[in-house]
Amino acid sequence: MKHAPYLLYSDGEGHIFEDTSLYVCGRSGWDAMPLENEEWIKLPKGGQLYELPNRRGIGIDVKSGEMRLCEKGWAVASFIPPAFTGTYLAAYETLPGAETLPLFCYTAAGWYNEKFYVTAIRIEKDIRQESEGFDESKIEQGVEKLLKTYRHNRLVQHLANNCCLTYHCPAARNYFMGRWECPVPSSPACNANCIGCISFQPQEETITSTQDRLQFKPTAEEIVEYTVPHLETAPFPIVSFGQGCEGEPLLMWQTIKMAIKEIRKHTQKGSININTNGSDPKAVKTLCEAGLNSIRVSTNSAREKIYTPYYRPNNYEFNDIVESLKVVNSFGGWTSINYFVFPGMTDSVEEYEALRKLIKETGLKMIQWRNFNIDPDWYLRKIDVTDTGECIGIRQMMTLLQEEFPTLKFGYFNPSMERITGNFEMDYAGS
Closer by beta carbon to ligand SF4, 181 or else 248:
248
Which is nearer to ligand SF4, 76 or 171 (by Cβ)? Answer: 171
In the bound state with ligand SF4, the residue whose beta carbon lies nearer, of 10 and 211, is: 211
Q: Long-range contacts: 288-292, Cβ < 8 Å, 24+?
A: 288/327, 288/328, 288/331, 288/333, 289/331, 290/256, 290/257, 290/260, 290/261, 290/264, 291/260, 291/261, 291/263, 291/264, 292/260, 292/328, 292/331, 292/333
Nearest-approach distance from CB 318 to ligand SF4, in angstroms: 13
Q: Report, in Å, the least distance between residue 129 CB and ligand SF4.
A: 19
Q: 158 with 146: CB under 8 angstroms?
A: no
Specify the residue, 270 or 278, whose C-beta has the smaller distance to ligand SF4: 278
Binding site for ligand SF4 (CB under 6 A): 190, 192-194, 197, 199-200, 247-248, 277
* Complex with ligand SF4: residue 120 or 283, whichever CB lies closer: 283
Pairing mode, strands 74-79 and 6-10: antiparallel
Laid out side by side, the sheet with 271-276 consists of: 181-184, 238-241, 271-276, 294-299, 334-341, 366-371, 409-411
Of the pair 89, 374, the CB lying nearest ligand SF4 is at 374
- The values of phi and psi at residue 60, to 5°, are -110, 125
Question: Contact, 105 vs 373, CB < 8 A?
Answer: yes
User: Could you tell me the smallest distance in angstroms from the CB atom of residue 199 to ligand SF4?
Assistant: 5
Between 228 and 284, name the residue whose CB sits nearer to ligand SF4: 284
Q: How far is the CB of 350 from ligand SF4 (least distance, A)?
A: 23
- Note the helical H segments in 112-238: 136-149, 154-158, 170-176, 220-233
Residue 52 pairs in a beta bridge with: 75
* Distinct helix (H) and strand (E) counts, the chain: 12, 21
Geometric angle at alpha carbon 119, from 167 and 130, rounded to 5°: 35
